[in-house]
Chains A and B, each alone.
Chain A
Amino acid sequence: MSEGRQIGEVILDLKNISLRFGGVKALTDISFDVREHEVRAIIGPNGAGKSSMLNVINGVYRPQEGDIVFRGKHHRDMNTYEAAKAGIARTFQNIALFKGMTVLDNIMTGRNLKMKSNFLLDALYWGPAQREEIAHRRKVEEIIDFLEIQHIRKTPVARLPYGLQKRVELGRALAAEPSILLLDEPMAGMNVEEKQDMCRFILDVNDQLGTTIVLIEHDMGVVMDISDRVVVLDYGKKIADGTPDEVRANQDVIDAYLGVAH
């Protein structure tokens, strides 16, 4: 599948992360790392703390304990703006697009951090502002072409079926040209065909753009097919970490997913 893709050094290392909401322990002492250019999956039953983990990575939640090392820099916690600037982009479990705006405009918003011209020039659409807009539009069009959504370029997002909305959200995340892409259940609620398409796009992003991918997914089949390494959470604790085959054979994982006889 991807002979040419070189999995590199660890770029994101999470050490002993614990996160509490009052008395509720969402994450307890979790450590794992993400290597450059790999597809890293976080799986686990409902309420295992998967989304919380993503939120810690891109700075929405501040863990009470632990250390995050991103590209060699230690962070007590990430801050959302910093995370985005450092090249971490994400999609959400529940689609978070601007429903009334077109696909094109939605993806354009993903370029926000890359825009440099000032408010006044933008308002006048003059000189550098115009040139910049054209350059961004080109980038966005490349993403539209990449994700094969040319036919809905000018369609308001609210009118699109769910599967396509998910794809648009991926597009918006890609517009930031991230080095790490966090995908929160990119295939939830999709039919088989939509899932296959999404898998292909995720692999294409990983392979052709070299983007490191951290994804949460419920569908075991999907995870095992496309991930390089999988970390399994249950009740906020890490119960397994390894290649799909190792994880599949792990007794704790089987118990967590299928239940244990009492």
Chain B
Amino acid sequence: MSDNVRLSSLSTFPRLLKHHAQVRPNHPATREKDLGIWQTWTWSQVAEEVRAMACGLAELGFKRGDNLAIIGDNRPRLYWAMYAAQCLGGVPVPLYQDAVAAEMVFVLQDAGIKFAIVEDQEQVDKLLENMSQCPDLQHILYDDPRGLRHYNQAFLHGLDEVQEMGRIHNRNHPEFLDGEIELGKSDDVAVMLYTSGTTGKPKGVCQTHGAFIAAAQSGCEFDRLGPDDNILSYLPMAWVGDHLFSFAQAAYAGFTINCPESGDTVMTDMREIGPSYYFAPPRVFENLLTQVMIRMEDAGALKRNMFHYFMGVARRCGAEILDGKPVSGTDRLLYALGNLLVYGPLRNVLGMSRIRVAYTAGAAIGPDLFRFYRSIGVNLKQLYGATETCAAVCLQPDGQIKFDTVGPPAPGVEVKIDDSGEVLVRGAVMLKEYYKRPDATAESIDAQGYFHTGDAGFFDEDGHLKIIDRAKDVGKLASGAMFAPNYIENKLKFFSHIKEAVAFGDRKDEVCAFINIDMGAVGNWAERRNIAYSGYTDLAQKTEVYELIRECVEQANAELAHDAMLSDSQVHRFLILHKELDPDDDELTRTRKVRRGFIAEKYGVLIDALYSGKASQFIETEVKFEDGRKGKVSADLRIMEAKTFPSQAAKKAA
């Protein structure tokens, strides 16, 4: 990038925005599909929109140090609202848009929110419902006026009107906003992201402009991202990953963010845009693969055989070719043919034809899943980080990809493993503090300035970091062998028929597991076998489905038997849960990580049944719908034994 030097001298996001508006005024900055057509805003237009929004906010009384809640799907104006708040020295606080009203209250109270910018009527309703619990909340601004015509509360404002107000304000005080931007400093807090709350109440992580710009800079230089790159912005704005990729890096490198038409159209929109840079948690890659596999099973014999043959070729040499490693001439030829017939069209269907760099993070990715994408020529890499470290601790460099590590530390980041095996991080990307929580800040940042990630891991011989599990989740079996539940769960979850798994075994003799089947994959499988079912609960308890899952569990056991450290962690008994684990029932976090402790408590009776060797157990569970109503699901769950294998490592030694 030619303007590197100048870029790094720009110390806040509003300054970066002004820079792009001057250097590349007509370059697309933001796109959104609206009424079936992609609408584009250039950098200079975005700067104008932000100016109007910021001045409008100022007119309403938004001041330096105020927090601005941002709630909604990925909409251009919600991204611009972040700049607008920052221009005025305020702090944007994006919230998860699918959170139920009660969950939002905590963050609104904790952050002392006075101003909220929300997407639509749904979010306005959620806030109105809780106004009484948020006495600080003074103004609600909405993006989409649909359905809000008859809301006549004085504190409700359409963004259009606010921006109009701002334009007038700007005409009267043209110096005002630039003056405000000039007051911004690199170590001001740029954004507050709430942790997903796997552990206790969510905490507000305060990140400075400096930290996020450092993270963006290191990522952009690492992968040579420039203004001509395109990214699809479809992940929750409250997630650190989206903030890094769709906001910080886009603001740094000046590339284009593309907002999908709606949550349901992401696949189509992705094909239309053809992003060059892509980011998704493993779950998304998994869903895509499951969909491909289901469709291939339904395809004609010729296509199916061709697919399986060439996927075999890709498994053998695809990833090596991508890494530039030596591969035999025949394989190269076959791969080229496969690229023409299978991989190319497949990448096109997935919208990945133009992808130069794709990242996954947020959870461990199954090695086979990871290998699949690399083998069809998608340069998928892993990164490791947390909300507290701007998501950027380790990145995998091109050509040095390993399936089970997250790569060496990113430039400018220092990583250390402490005696207990916990990963510690120090560098520019670290959080300033937890909002109003000096106790938590003191707890996670030690005297030497290291941030304690809470992840257990180690460096391999090449200096790549390998993450095993959350440090506090790693336990011991009664025999003293290590028990890493996440590792086992990930092994199980890689099977397309298994959507979620929860493993238990800490201080027990053996490992048992709960399974959630994947409704799409198993439903399709059942239909092809003429197995009739009425819904999830019914399908989950079919004998045939249990047999199917047993095969998966046993295959995972066979793989675990190969690992000396983990061969004792084979799953002895399992059951298929009668309902899908759901964030609305607090069983998963909003980023869909299992809350093991909560689940163990809620389904204690099932765990007892697993360990007492019963053949079945009755259970009734309350479920919550998105609007807060409640219902009940009950079932008689069967418990099945799975075959375990003698440790292969031990055998070799003998």
Question: What is A's interface to B at a CB cutoff of 8 Å?
Answer: 2-4, 137-138, 141-142, 144-146, 148, 150-151, 153-154, 204, 207-208
The answer on a CB contact under 8 Å between A208 and B146 is yes
Chain B residues with CB under 8 A of A144: 35-36
The answer on a CB contact under 8 Å between B264 and A3 is no
Offer 30 A-B interface pairs, CB within 8 angstroms, sorted by A.
A2-B150, A3-B150, A4-B149, A137-B36, A138-B35, A141-B36, A141-B37, A142-B35, A144-B36, A145-B34, A145-B35, A146-B146, A148-B262, A150-B261, A150-B262, A150-B264, A151-B262, A151-B264, A151-B265, A151-B268, A153-B36, A154-B268, A204-B146, A204-B147, A207-B147, A207-B149, A207-B150, A208-B146, A208-B147, A208-B149
Bound CA span A138–B147, Å? 20
**Chain B at the A interface: SS class:** loop
The answer on a CB contact under 8 Å between A4 and B35 is no
Chain A residues with CB under 8 A of B262: 148, 150-151
Bound CA span A2–B264, Å? 29
Bound CA span A151–B265, Å? 5
The answer on a CB contact under 8 Å between B35 and A141 is yes
Question: What is B's interface to A at a CB cutoff of 8 Å?
Answer: 34-37, 146-147, 149-150, 261-262, 264-265, 268
Bound CA span A208–B149, Å? 8
Chain B residues with CB under 8 A of A2: 150
Chain B residues with CB under 8 A of A150: 36, 261-262, 264-265
Chain A residues with CB under 8 A of B146: 146, 204, 208
In the complex, what's the smallest C-beta–C-beta distance from B35 to chain A, in angstroms? 4
Chain B residues with CB under 8 A of A138: 35
Chain A residues with CB under 8 A of B35: 138, 141-142, 144-145
Bound CA span A150–B37, Å? 11
In the complex, what's the smallest C-beta–C-beta distance from A213 to chain B, in angstroms? 17
Bound CA span A204–B149, Å? 11
Bound CA span A137–B150, Å? 29
Bound CA span A204–B150, Å? 12
In the complex, what's the smallest C-beta–C-beta distance from B631 to chain A, in angstroms? 10
Bound CA span A62–B227, Å? 67
Quick one: which of B35, B37, B149, B268 has the most chain A CB within 10 A? Answer: B35
Chain A residues with CB under 8 A of B264: 150-151
In the complex, what's the smallest C-beta–C-beta distance from A186 to chain B, in angstroms? 19
Q: Which residue of B lies closest to A139 (CB)?
A: B35
Bound CA span A137–B36, Å? 9
Chain A residues with CB under 8 A of B268: 151, 154
Chain B residues with CB under 8 A of A4: 149-150
Known: A137-B36, A151-B261, A204-B147. 8 other contacts (CB 8 A): A4-B149, A144-B36, A148-B262, A150-B261, A150-B262, A153-B36, A204-B146, A207-B149
Q: Which residue of A lies closest to B626 (CB)?
A: A193
Bound CA span A208–B121, Å? 14
Bound CA span A144–B150, Å? 23
Bound CA span A208–B144, Å? 14
Chain A residues with CB under 8 A of B261: 150-151
In the complex, what's the smallest C-beta–C-beta distance from B206 to chain A, in angstroms? 36
In the complex, what's the smallest C-beta–C-beta distance from B44 to chain A, in angstroms? 27
Chain A residues with CB under 8 A of B147: 204, 207-208
Q: Which residue of A lies closest to B37 (CB)?
A: A141
Chain B residues with CB under 8 A of A153: 36
In the complex, what's the smallest C-beta–C-beta distance from A128 to chain B, in angstroms? 21
In the complex, what's the smallest C-beta–C-beta distance from A199 to chain B, in angstroms? 13
In the complex, what's the smallest C-beta–C-beta distance from B18 to chain A, in angstroms? 33
Q: Which residue of A lies closest to B264 (CB)?
A: A151
Q: Which residue of B lies closest to A196 (CB)?
A: B627
Chain B residues with CB under 8 A of A146: 146
Bound CA span A208–B261, Å? 22
Bound CA span A99–B67, Å? 51
Q: Which residue of A lies closest to B263 (CB)?
A: A151
Bound CA span A4–B150, Å? 6
Q: Which residue of B lies closest to A5 (CB)?
A: B150
Bound CA span A150–B265, Å? 7
Bound CA span A208–B264, Å? 24
Bound CA span A148–B147, Å? 14
In the complex, what's the smallest C-beta–C-beta distance from B592 to chain A, in angstroms? 21
Bound CA span A137–B268, Å? 19
Chain A residues with CB under 8 A of B149: 4, 207-208
Bound CA span A144–B261, Å? 11
Chain B residues with CB under 8 A of A142: 35
Q: Which residue of B lies closest to A148 (CB)?
A: B262
Chain B residues with CB under 8 A of A208: 146-147, 149
Q: Which residue of B lies closest to A151 (CB)?
A: B264
Q: Which residue of A lies closest to B152 (CB)?
A: A3
Bound CA span A150–B261, Å? 7
Q: Which residue of A lies closest to B267 (CB)?
A: A151
Bound CA span A5–B146, Å? 15
Quick one: which of A145, A151, A208 has the most chain B CB within 10 A? Answer: A151
In the complex, what's the smallest C-beta–C-beta distance from A43 to chain B, in angstroms? 26
Bound CA span A198–B264, Å? 18
Quick one: which of A145, A150, A204 has the most chain B CB within 10 A? Answer: A150
Bound CA span A159–B97, Å? 30
Bound CA span A254–B261, Å? 47
Q: Which residue of A lies closest to B149 (CB)?
A: A4
Q: Which residue of A lies closest to B625 (CB)?
A: A193
Bound CA span A153–B36, Å? 9
Q: Which residue of B lies closest to A1 (CB)?
A: B150
Chain A residues with CB under 8 A of B34: 145
Chain A residues with CB under 8 A of B150: 2-4, 207
Q: Which residue of B lies closest to A153 (CB)?
A: B36
Bound CA span A154–B35, Å? 13
Q: Ordered nearest first, which 9 A-B pairs have the shortest CB separation?
A: A151-B264, A141-B35, A4-B150, A151-B265, A141-B36, A150-B261, A150-B265, A150-B262, A3-B150
Q: Which residue of B lies closest to A145 (CB)?
A: B35
Q: Which residue of A lies closest to B150 (CB)?
A: A4
Chain A residues with CB under 8 A of B265: 150-151
Quick one: which of B36, B149, B261, B268 has the most chain A CB within 10 A? Answer: B36
In the complex, what's the smallest C-beta–C-beta distance from B32 to chain A, in angstroms? 12
In the complex, what's the smallest C-beta–C-beta distance from A108 to chain B, in angstroms? 12
Bound CA span A150–B146, Å? 16
Chain B residues with CB under 8 A of A154: 268
In the complex, what's the smallest C-beta–C-beta distance from A203 to chain B, in angstroms? 9
Bound CA span A47–B53, Å? 59
Q: Which residue of B lies closest to A203 (CB)?
A: B147
Chain A residues with CB under 8 A of B36: 137, 141, 144, 150, 153
Chain B residues with CB under 8 A of A137: 36
Bound CA span A2–B148, Å? 11
Q: Which residue of A lies closest to B266 (CB)?
A: A151
Bound CA span A188–B458, Å? 59
Bound CA span A132–B240, Å? 46
Bound CA span A153–B147, Å? 23
Bound CA span A173–B35, Å? 19
Bound CA span A154–B264, Å? 13
Chain B residues with CB under 8 A of A204: 146-147
Bound CA span A144–B35, Å? 8
Q: Which residue of A lies closest to B36 (CB)?
A: A141
Bound CA span A144–B34, Å? 11
In the complex, what's the smallest C-beta–C-beta distance from B330 to chain A, in angstroms? 41
Bound CA span A140–B446, Å? 60
Bound CA span A207–B37, Å? 27
Bound CA span A142–B37, Å? 11
